[in-house]
């Protein structure tokens, strides 16, 4: 997993609530057996019309916006557990997703792929959206060590929560498999003395 410490980038505003993982990557693209290439089809049915032409109304096709931070509406990543959603977002180039609320499984999948989910207050999210829409060149600064997200050259800033263990993993690029495999003896001891 790639390490994550700080990120400065412009951001893309996706002003939609309850974005489910079927929208992030539709089921018909889940037939691949490796992790790469899903970025081509991220938000496929919002980015393209059914005839394959580009939907210029969709924000990812709006050249006004760019950057590696996706700022999305409440309850992002609900629905299917498909990790392909996290793979698609990272493969497209995003490193951070900001929302006022994340669905559990998506959040876990993101963290397992070095994609940082930054949960902010609804008020801060609303300010952020407005700021980016009114000034697309706005730069956001995400500092994982300090757990802050701020708008560069402004007062706008907020702290965010992250599990201490997951924070260490993100900063150092560790993943859970390493930890679990190193604890095999303990797991075997548990198996030998199961109480149920």
Partner 1 sequence: MGKTLFDKVWDSHVVSSIENGPQILYIDKHLIHEVTSPQAFNELEERGIPVFRPNQIVATADHNTPTLNQDQPIKDDLSRNQLEQLSENCKKNNITLYELGHKYNGIVHVMAPELGVTQPGLTMVCGDSHTSTHGAFGAIAFGIGTSQVAQVFASQCLLLTKPKSLRVTVNGKLKNGVLPKDVILYIISKLGTNSGTGYFCEYAGNVFEDMSMEGRMTVCNMSIEMGARGGMIAPDETTFNYVKGKEFAPKGDDFEKKVAYWKTLPTDDDATFDKEYSFDAEDIEPMITYGTNPGMGIKISESIPMDENLSFKKSLAYMNFEAGESLIDKPINFVFIGSCTNSRIEDFRVAADYIKGKKKAENVTAWLVPGSKQVEAQIIEEGLKTIFDEAGFELRQPGCSACLAMNDDKIPQGEYCVSTSNRNFEGRQGQGSRTILASPLVAAATAVEGKIIDISKQLN
Q: Exactly one of 5, 130, 165, 173 binds partner 1 (CB under 8 A); which one? A: 165
Which residues, numbered 26-45, are part of the site for partner 1 (CB under 8 A)? Answer: 26-28, 30-35, 45
Closest CA to 9 of 98, 142, 115: 142
Cα 58 from Cα 121, distance rounded (Å): 25
Q: Exactly one of 2, 40, 62, 104 binds partner 1 (CB under 8 A); which one? A: 104
The CB-of-185 to partner 1 minimum distance in angstroms stands at: 11
Cα 47 from Cα 192, distance rounded (Å): 53
Residues 6+ apart with CB under 8 A from 176: 112, 169
Alpha helices (H) along 20-116: 21-24, 44-47, 84-92, 104-111
Closest CA to 112 of 89, 80, 145, 142: 89
Strands 139-143 and 148-151: antiparallel
Residue 186 binds partner 1 (CB under 8 A): yes
Residue 195 binds partner 1 (CB under 8 A): yes
Residue 73 binds partner 1 (CB under 8 A): yes
- For the record, the structure tokens of 75 come out as 């309850």
Cα 86 from Cα 102, distance rounded (Å): 12
Partners of 142 in beta bridges: 7, 149
Do the Cβ atoms of 141 and 158 come closer than 8 Å?
no
Q: Exactly one of 8, 55, 61, 75 binds partner 1 (CB under 8 A); which one? A: 75
Of the pair 10, 127, the CB lying nearest partner 1 is at: 127
The CB-of-127 to partner 1 minimum distance in angstroms stands at: 17
Q: Exactly one of 13, 25, 82, 91 binds partner 1 (CB under 8 A); which one? A: 82
The CB-of-55 to partner 1 minimum distance in angstroms stands at: 13
x/- track of binding to partner 1 for residues 125-164 (CB under 8 A): --------------------------------------xx
- Give the interface with partner 1 as residue ranges (CB under 8 A): 15-18, 20, 22-23, 26-28, 30-35, 45, 50, 73-75, 78-84, 86, 101-105, 108-109, 112-113, 163-165, 175-177, 179-181, 183-184, 186-187, 190-191, 194-196
């Amino acid at each position: 997993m790639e390490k994550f410490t700080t990120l400065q980038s412009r951001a893309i505003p996706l002003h939609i609530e309850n974005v489910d993982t079927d929208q992030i990557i539709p089921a018909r693209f889940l037939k691949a057996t490796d992790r790469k290439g899903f970025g081509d089809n991220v938000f496929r049915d919002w980015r393209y019309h059914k005839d394959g032409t580009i939907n210029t109304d969709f924000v990812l096709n709006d050249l006004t916006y760019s950057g590696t931070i996706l700022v999305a509406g409440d309850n992002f990543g609900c629905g299917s557990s498909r990790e392909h959603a996290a793979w698609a977002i990272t493969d497209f180039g995003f490193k951070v997703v900001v929302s006022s609320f994340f669905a559990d499984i998506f959040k876990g999948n993101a963290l397992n792929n070095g994609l940082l989910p930054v949960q902010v207050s609804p008020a801060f999210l609303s300010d952020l959206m407005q700021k980016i829409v009114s000034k697309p060149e706005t730069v956001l600064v995400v500092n994982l060590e300090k757990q802050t997200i701020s708008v560069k050259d402004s007062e706008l800033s907020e702290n965010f929560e992250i599990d201490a263990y997951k924070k260490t993993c993100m900063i150092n690029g560790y993943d859970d498999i390493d930890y679990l495999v190193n604890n095999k003896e303990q797991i075997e001891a548990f198996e030998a003395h199961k109480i149920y």
